Chain A
Amino acid sequence: MWESLEHVGWVTVLANTGWMYVTVSVVHYFTLLFFIGTIVLVDLRILGIADRNQTISLLADQLLPWTWIGFALAMISGFLLFTTDAGDYAPDHVFQAKMLVILLAVVFTVVVQRGLRKWNQLPAVPASAKVIAAVSLMLWLGAILAGVDIAALSGLG
């Protein structure tokens, strides 16, 4: 089923046109590094490690809208890269683990985003909020590790 995706007209063009594949790769790497960076900063702020001289809300307002724009671009470019070798990626366990970790990371990031305005008004950031931020942080770094491992363990990409 996934294999057939590789034979769609525009997918074969993407897979066989060097500059197109490179461009999509660059968009994927740049946007994923960028959007994860914005989440890491917000998580570190909630943990009380980074940027303590401004409120959580102020930092989050500047960063999180960009997080989701970056995330959308990383998803679209990631899907395009996936299509060129879908038959090999789809059954790969490291790739599947990466997708699962990303899904969990998104859930935790949404929880952080929904909770931060409330945490910001409290005299101290609650311990539960710090745990959520720490898990979000580790899941995103885990997603990067899984991405790196696809090449290292499965030889794909």
Chain B
Amino acid sequence: MYDLLHALAKWLEGTSWATVIRTTGIYPYIQLIHFSGLTVWLGTNTIVDLRILGLGQKRQTAAQLAEALLTWNWIAFSIVVLGGFLLFSGIGATYLVNAAFRVKLGIFVPLALIWHVVVQRKVRTWGRESETPGIAKLGALVEILLWLCVVTAAVEIPNY
């Protein structure tokens, strides 16, 4: 598995766009793409989770709010993936041996993502009434904690 990923990372590093990302001053702008997507991605995720938890304004049910934010939730996710992929393609092989990066992309991102999809599907029934059931609140809390784990792993990348 590692050999395959390493070969892929090495191939990516050799592509023309990766060379541009690595050798010109464009890197902060690629980071900006990743972070811009993350603002709306984490914003929409967390707003729905907070509503499920019963915090904040209650003019809409959690189900209505999740439905309203659904499109931009996934548009933002696509931007996050695009930016992340471009960041990775520049120096992928270096990231692959980084323990914090491995924990982030190998454990927490898949876990948080699966959890998010489950919450997003369940919220249609959980969030139909203004007051959500206890299991929904637990689900929402765990989602916030999982994304905090993702951010923690990301913050640790330069330290490894």
Contact = CB atoms under 8 A, between A and B. Distances in A.
Interface of A: 22, 25-26, 29-30, 33-38, 40-41, 44, 50-51, 53-54, 58-59, 61-63, 65-66, 140-141, 144-145, 148-149, 152
A50 B43 CA distance: 14
A37 B43 contact: yes
Interface string B43-56: 11011001100001
B31 A148 contact: yes
Interface in B71-110: 71-72, 76
Given A41-B69, A51-B72, A62-B65, A33 B43 contact: yes
Interface of B: 27-29, 31-32, 35-36, 38-44, 46-47, 50-51, 56-57, 59-60, 65, 68-69, 71-72, 76, 147-148, 151-152, 154-156, 159
Nearest to A25: B155
Contacts of B38: 33, 37
A77 to B, nearest CB: 12
B39 A30 contact: no
Contacts of B44: 37, 41
A86 B58 CA distance: 41
9 contacts: A22-B155, A26-B148, A37-B42, A59-B68, A62-B57, A66-B47, A66-B50, A144-B35, A152-B27
A78 B41 CA distance: 21
B47 A38 contact: yes
A61 B59 contact: yes
Contact of B56 (A29, A35, A41, A65): A65
Contact of B40 (A29, A40, A58, A59): A40
B49 to A, nearest CB: 10
A53 B56 contact: no
B33 to A, nearest CB: 10
A51 B32 contact: no
B39 A36 contact: yes
A22 B156 contact: yes
The 8 closest A-B pairs by CB, nearest first: A37-B43, A37-B39, A36-B39, A148-B28, A37-B40, A33-B42, A148-B31, A152-B28
